[in-house]
Amino acid sequence: MNKTIKRTIYIASAVIALSLHGCYSYDPAPKCIDSDNYTGVKKEIQQVIPKDCEFLTLEIAREIALVNNPDYIARHQSMIAARQRYYQSMSAYLPTVSSSYDAGQVFTNPTYQKNPGAASANRTGAFNQQVGLNAQWTIFDGLMRTMNMLVAKHQAKEYEYIEEDTRRILLESVANQYNNVLLAVENNRIAKTDMDFQQKLLDETQLKYDAGAVPLSDVLNFKVKFNDAEGKLIRSQYNYNTSKYALAALMGIPEAQIPDEVKFPPMSADTNINLVDVRIYIDTALSNRPDLKQYREVLLAAEYTLYSRWGAFSPTVTATGGLSWSRNKVTNNGRYGSSFEGSSQWDTSSRTNVGQYNINVSWTLFDGTRRFTRVREAQALVAQAEYDLTTQWIKVIQDVRAAYDNYIQSVKQAVIYKNTLGLVTQQRDLVEEEYKAGNTELTRLNEAQRDLVQADSNLVSSLINMQNAKAQLAAATNSR
């Protein structure tokens, strides 16, 4: 094997080694997804939630979700893939260089010769080798390479904004689900408080009934009310569990479960509001919303695609060149007295170096209506992208206005319900004293307690709605 062949093999080996070294790496998904059953799967909760996390705040839940949510991570990977496609498009400006190596043997053994001549050979064995290096370079193609590269660039930006929009929606979803957990906690408290109240009156009424002071119907009334409160407690506990499952799924916990030892901080009862004019929020949204930016990138990509279609009408200039080295060796064996320089076996060999280049200009003058219709198609896609952008523009403004009004009305309702709860609590206490003194009927006490439970539930719901509306407005404007 000569030096040229060895050099070619070394270069090819280096290219292969470099390619293997540059393989893409990423943090793998949890191993448990490879299992087809849940039983026996190693718990991976502590890999997501820190061991020292006693209270899971909304900020911690969001941070965990941004690191572990599989849908968000998948969008990040798609963004990287789109970026690599953009880098691929740049290679169209560079020449394509390829190498080749051929080796082979040819054996001949004639079965019949007539008057072969003195120097004629009957059997030959030829060994041929050839090493080649070829290059091709597109010099001009009507700027189609440039337009295609710009298309890939804006498509990569589109995927960046898709990832950012997924983040925006994820943060809002985590906030909503987190608030659902807090709502379930408060409903648990309300149900337990109602149970305690009904149990207290049941015990007092039972003593009065045993003394013959009240009828049996009063005792049965409080037993029924206690059972109703216990049923609400069961429902609120179910809502608490399912809300935690949903929150755990958003946080990317493989088991979709938050450990029982992890607690949640008390719900905020702050009803202060500090809003500026809605037009400022609209301007912020139009400047920050990643989904709107995504549609702008789609429009730009469509426009560059149109320019690329026009490039098909221009000529294409391509340069090609190559170098090759060949070596041939032929072994001859003579019969019937044939010989060369007194020998019945001799070798012939040759070495050849070849270099060549070529400039090619091609121009498609007519191909039916294919190029024209592709231009018309691209023009229609540009128009579609413009109207899609218009639709999204309107939607962004609609989202901001709806979130703004929702926040205002939620705060107003929370203020009213907070005041109402104070009044209803005072009213229930007065009615309770009147009932114990025998100055009012049992039905009035039931109504007062029902109103108190309802007012407490309304306040809790309004406070949660206010937090959800706050998260909605932050998502509508993409505020951090």
Summarised one tens digit per residue, pLDDT across range 93-107 is: 999 999 999 999 988
Contact by Cβ (8 Å): 45, 253: yes
* CA pseudo-torsion sign 221, 223, 228, 229: positive
18's tokens: 């470099």
25's tokens: 């790496």
For the entire predicted model, the pTM comes to 0.84
Hey, what domains does the chain have and what are their CATH numbers? Answer: 43-94+142-314+367-477 (1.20.1600.10)
Task: State the pLDDT at residue 277.
Answer: 94
Q: What is the pLDDT of residues 27-45, one digit of tens each?
A: 777 666 666 666 655 555 5
Task: State the pLDDT at residue 37.
Answer: 66
Task: State the pLDDT at residue 22.
Answer: 56
* Burial class for 289, CB neighbours closer than 10 Å (0-12, 13-18, 19+): buried
Q: What is the pLDDT of residues 195-254, one digit of tens each?
A: 999 999 999 999 999 998 899 999 999 999 999 999 999 999 999 999 999 999 999 988
Task: State the pLDDT at residue 197.
Answer: 95
Task: State the pLDDT at residue 1.
Answer: 47
For the residues 133-154, what does the mean pLDDT come to?
A: 93
Task: State the pLDDT at residue 12.
Answer: 53
3-class SS of residue 239: helix
Task: State the pLDDT at residue 273.
Answer: 82
The band of 13, judged by pLDDT with boundaries at 50, 70 and 90, is: low
CA nearest neighbour of 193 among 459, 434, 457: 457
Alpha helices, DSSP H, located in 93-215 = 144-210
On the question of pLDDT at 68 being above 60, the answer is yes
DSSP code for 142 = T
87's tokens: 């880098």
Task: State the pLDDT at residue 120.
Answer: 62
Task: State the pLDDT at residue 363.
Answer: 93
On the question of pLDDT at 5 being above 60, the answer is no
Phi and psi at residue 443, to the nearest 5°: -60, -35
Pick from 10-19, 66-75, 180-189: least confident: 10-19
